[in-house]
Structure 1
Amino acid sequence: MNFGIVIFDQAEELDFVGPWEMVTMWSRFADGPEECLLVAEKPGPVTCAKGMSVNPHTTFAECPPLDYLLVPGGEGTRREVSNPEMLSFVSTQAQSARAVLSVCTGSFVLHAASLLSGKRATTHWRSLDRLRALGDVDVLEQRYVQDGTVWSSAGVSAGTDMVLAFIAEVAGEAAAGKVQFGAEYYPSTRKYGGFEEHAKAPAYVRSS
């Protein structure tokens, strides 16, 4: 069993590093995937949104079939939704994958790869209206959304919550508990600055 995470220039770092941490904790403590692969279109370093430089393990052309695939978001998705190599890779892998996941604006890549039409999904709060404007996605203002084998999350840190919930779904509560405990992932509920009252705050922030 393997888990692949696509990376590309201007991907948001925490969109994939948070999920990476959850998946590799799953592997270490709860019999999770044998491999967690960072996959890029080409070999060589990928420069992310905040300047982190990451070396992929493999390329689109050399990547084995994946059991699970995650697509992060970031400014780079505005380019990747028109990148035929990216869309071909995602759609081809999705044909045999057990599940496909997106974080933040990675949802737009899933849509461009014909994986999100007619499904429930979410994205970063700044892009909710843009996702609605596509016209064929049931957009929910939730931290993360599951619709069959397609999962999506809100922005940046939300991907960590989504992947932990995903682990609970596919491997059980005990496995997710081991991951959560190993990672000490018990997020504070404290809110700062009153931004939960912001006009653009998603429903799950306003109501929590």
Structure 2
Amino acid sequence: LPNYAFSDQPAMNAFLIPGGFGTRQELNNARLHDYIRSLPASCLITSVCTGSWIYGRMGLLDGLPATNRKEPDRAEMAASGKVPIDRLKEIAPACIISRARVVDAGRIITAGGIASGMEMGFHLLRRAGYDEAFIGEVARVMEYSAAYDLYRRDLEVLVEAPRSAAQT
């Protein structure tokens, strides 16, 4: 059960829309869209997989690079033959489609498929000022070292992340 309703407006540093079949239902959810638009400019807006469809539908990805899952599931193959990243282009024609696993466009960060969400998490640690040794240790403890070493550079960064006071 959720801890908050949209009307509670809890303070947060980042907002995430995960992928999955629920995103299809939320594409036209005006309450969700209004809530996202009400978030302060300092709040990161992130997504994994088809979660970026919602930001695309809202026009938030216009003129920005973004990514999505590149492989279809069985239902997607049978229904339309389109992979989610192609569907993102239909939903958000002004979006600049990237095939990177993680795309950092400043305030908006999108990740491809489910596993790409892990790389987005590591990238968020990097943006928060943690060094590669620490992030590598996190990956090791998670038993994700090999994948981290393979994918950590499959990233498109549009703008440099702002530096925290601890980094200056």
TM-score for the superposition, normalised by structure 1? 0.58
2:85 aligns to what? Answer: 128
Give the percent of matched residue pairs that are identical in Structure 1 and Structure 2.
27
RMSD of Structure 2 on Structure 1 (CA)? 2.1
| Distance of 1:176 and 1:63 partners within structure 2 | 31
Residues of 2 paired with 1:172 and 1:188: CA distance? 19
How far apart are 1:144 and its partner, in Å? 1.0
Q: Look up the SS of the partner of 1:96 in the other structure.
A: coil
Matched, 1:164 2:122: yes
1:108: Cα distance to partner?
Answer: 1.0
Q: Which segments of structure 1 move beyond 4 Å, counting only runs of 4 or more?
A: none
Q: CA deviation at 1:143?
A: 0.9
**Which residue pairs with 1:73 in the alignment?**
19
Gaps of 5+ in 1: 1-54, 190-203
Task: Output the CA distance in 2 between the equivalents of 1:67 and 1:175.
Answer: 21
Contact 1:104 1:153 in 2 (8 A): yes
- Bigger strand fraction: 1
Contact preservation (8 Å) 1:90, 1:113 = no
Normalised by the length of structure 2, the TM-score is: 0.71
Is 1:185 the counterpart of 2:144? The answer is yes
The number of equivalent residue pairs is 135
Structure 2 equivalent of residue 85 of structure 1:
31
Q: How far did 1:146 drift?
A: 0.8
Q: CA deviation at 1:182?
A: 3.5
Q: Among 23, 43, 64, which residue is 1:119 paired with?
A: 64
Structure 2: segments with no counterpart, 5+ residues: 71-82, 149-153, 155-168
Give the Cα–Cα distance (whole angstroms) in 2 for the partners of residues 135 and 161 of structure 1.
Answer: 26
SS in 1 for 2:54: helix
Q: Which amino acid aligns with 1:185?
A: Y
Contact 2:17 2:48 in 1 (8 A): yes
Query: Does 1:138 find its partner at 2:96?
Result: yes
